[in-house]
Amino acid sequence: MAVWRMMFARPQFKHRQIKRMVDDLNREGNFGGMPIHRITLTRQTRELIYVDLEFQLTTGLTQPLFEQMAKYILVAVAGLAHAPQPIYLAAMANPFAKLNISYYIYPDHSLDLIYWQPLLRKPT
């Protein structure tokens, strides 16, 4: 079981955006083809909105796959998960540094992902 604790900086991210992403993933029931055990908007403070995601790893999680999955969250929050392919691919092509995503992996292989800024509607 993979455990990701995601944090979204406020006020850059809005509660409604995060709630929509959580609801969409709950409805889909999988994350990158991997079954979701649980995804929950757990709490929010003045600085952060917290989401916990537990999913079943059905394949090895390589660094490139991890990065694509982490970027997908940002794309989903922006409402671009089902955008036309050129827009979706342009968003996914951005490196972590440009997207302002940071993470920390714990010894138990769970991780914290911090999203500092939303994806622009029209990726550059």
Q: What is the CA radius of gyration of the chain?
A: 14
The pair of structure tokens assigned to 48 is 């952060």
Residue 122 pLDDT grade (very low, low, confident, very high; cuts 50, 70, 90): very low
Beta-carbon neighbour count of residue 47 at 10 Å?
10
19-28, 78-87, 115-124: which is most confident: 19-28
* Domains of the chain as residue ranges with CATH: 2-115 (3.30.70)
Beta-carbon neighbour count of residue 106 at 10 Å?
10
The 30-31 sheet, strands edge to edge: 30-31, 34-44, 48-55, 2-9, 111-115, 101-105
Which is more confident, 84 or 46? 46
pLDDT of residue 34: 93
- pLDDT by residue (tens digit) across 9-44? 999 999 999 999 999 999 999 998 899 999 999 999
